[in-house]
Structure formats: structure tokens, C-alpha cells
A = this chain, B = another copy of it.
């Protein structure tokens, strides 16, 4: 990654109108922007336009810290919701886990291999079990008591910790706890969960048992942004695997682990590469 040119990424959404693409592309053209990637989508039913543009900073006529101001008049003209980011930023991730290690191992290994342009300063858990894995990868581990009585207080402490450690993104990597609304709101659009079923099927607890009970021929996993409504947030990525009567519940769990870790990592990667725009309760993924 070190040798890749630094790029700017503009993500935007607004009511669909004539001239949107013309104004944005003219802005880049007039300022000598060398476009690396551009994609857009119009939701015809909702009348919403969404766009992602990425261009090289090198050679661009506007200084990095002046781009926002320069673009603002266009954004205001069209009523855009928008964000600007740069490919050399390194957001900080906290991974939340309980007792199951497969997603944690996978995320930490990918991070060590350089798959994610990010820092992972912190693993948080409601159990001690996975502390040594975090330690093996040189990541701080913090355990919180999360019981019905202590949950609200613990979550407040956790939020304080995340702020101290300047955490930008929370990844729930089989964290078997419902996260409280205050915590969710604090990280809205920045908290990703992996659910071990193809939502909306088998929402709630024990989806592999539900799947086995129902006798389905396909299982899945779903990565989504966390919102206050449990298992209802915008879906980022899903994948499925075929199953048969030969699969017992432990077999489903085994197959499901591979889905979960791959789908969660794909979602995190898309988020880190600024490929996702959320609108309403959906995502547009500019892959």
C-alpha cells in the first residue's frame, strides 16, 4: 500500500436532479483532478442520487485542506449529504468479542498482513477467554462485566474508553450482547456487526439451531451497520452456503464460521475503503 498514490474520496447522496454529474465532474476537471474511480447510482423509486468519486491528490489544483470549502457551494446547491476522506488516513478500530475466536483471529491476521489500512489498538470483551489471542497480536484487551444490572454502567465506561483511545470504528465480531441505544447512537454508521444468518431469516438468538430445526438447504451470514433496532440495520454484505440433511447443528456452525469471518472482513474492508453510502435503511456498495 505504501507506494499507492494518495487519493481523495467523495461520497455523496441527494435528491436526484439534472446537472448533478455535470457539476461534480466539471469541478474535478477544472481543477485537474485525475479520476481513479467513479460510480453512481440513482434509486428511481426514491428519487435519490448517490455517487462515489475518487481522484489523485497529486496534481490536483486545490490543496488538500481546502477541498471541502471549494466543494461546499456545489454540495449546498444540490442539497447533498456528503463526506470527503483521504486514502492515507488510518482509522482506529476496536473489536468486540465474547468467547468465539474465529472472527477475531481472522480480523487480526488480516490486519497484520496489511489487508486493512487501519489501526487495531483494542479488543473489548465481556469474557476473559480471548485475551491471550489479543495479546499474541500485541493488541490491548479490556474486559468488562456485562450483566443485566451492570450493563448500562459498563457501556458508559466502554464509550469513555473508546473516546480516550480515539476509536473510530467498532466491529462486533460475534459479540453476544445486545448493545444499548446510547452506545449505538454514539457510533451510528461506524459500528459493524456480523449476524450468523442470512437476515432477515433467523434474526435473534441461536440461528443455526433455528436453521436446523427449519430444515433449510442454505445458510448464510450478514454483516450490517448496527442501529437501535436489533438485527435491523443496513445490510452491507451477505453470503450463503449450501447445506443438506447431512449437516448437524455442529456442521452448520462449522460451515457458518467460514461465512461469518469472510463476510465480516469484506464489510469492514468496504467500509475502510470508503465504498459504502447508507441511505434510509439500505446501503449502496460501490465495489
B254–A235 CB distance below 8 A: no
* Smallest CB separation, A87 vs chain B (Å): 14
Q: Tell me which residues across on chain B come within 8 A of A220, comparing CB atoms.
A: 218, 240
A21 with B18: in contact, given A41-B245, A201-B201 (CB under 8 Å)? no
* Smallest CB separation, A192 vs chain B (Å): 14
Looking at A30-38, A69-77, A178-186, the stretch in contact with chain B turns out to be A30-38
Residues of A8-29 whose CB lies within 8 A of B: 18-19, 21-22, 25-26, 28-29
B21–A25 CB distance below 8 A: yes
B22–A28 CB distance below 8 A: yes
Residues 43-72 of A, flagged 1 when their CB comes within 8 A of B and 0 if not, give 111000000000000000000000000000
Q: Tell me which residues across on chain B come within 8 A of A38, comparing CB atoms.
A: 21, 40, 42
- A: number of interface residues (CB 8 Å): 69
> How distant is the Cα of A106 from the Cα of B262 in the complex, in angstroms?
12
Q: Tell me which residues across on chain B come within 8 A of A200, comparing CB atoms.
A: 201-202, 214, 216
Q: Tell me which residues across on chain B come within 8 A of A245, comparing CB atoms.
A: 41, 43, 282-285
Q: Judge whether A145 is part of the interface by a CB distance below 8 angstroms.
A: no
* Smallest CB separation, A255 vs chain B (Å): 9
> How distant is the Cα of A168 from the Cα of B115 in the complex, in angstroms?
33
B18–A282 CB distance below 8 A: no
A36 with B42: in contact, given A105-B113, A218-B239, A235-B217 (CB under 8 Å)? yes
Q: Of B45, B113, B266, which contacts A249 at CB under 8 A?
A: B45
Other A-B contacts than A22-B22, A105-B113, 5 sampled, CB-CB below 8 A, are: A35-B42, A44-B248, A215-B282, A245-B282, A262-B262
A interface, CB within 8 angstroms of B:
18-19, 21-22, 25-26, 28-30, 32-45, 101-102, 105-106, 109-110, 112-113, 115, 136-137, 198-202, 214-218, 220, 234-240, 242, 244-246, 248-249, 254, 258, 262, 265-266, 281-285, 287
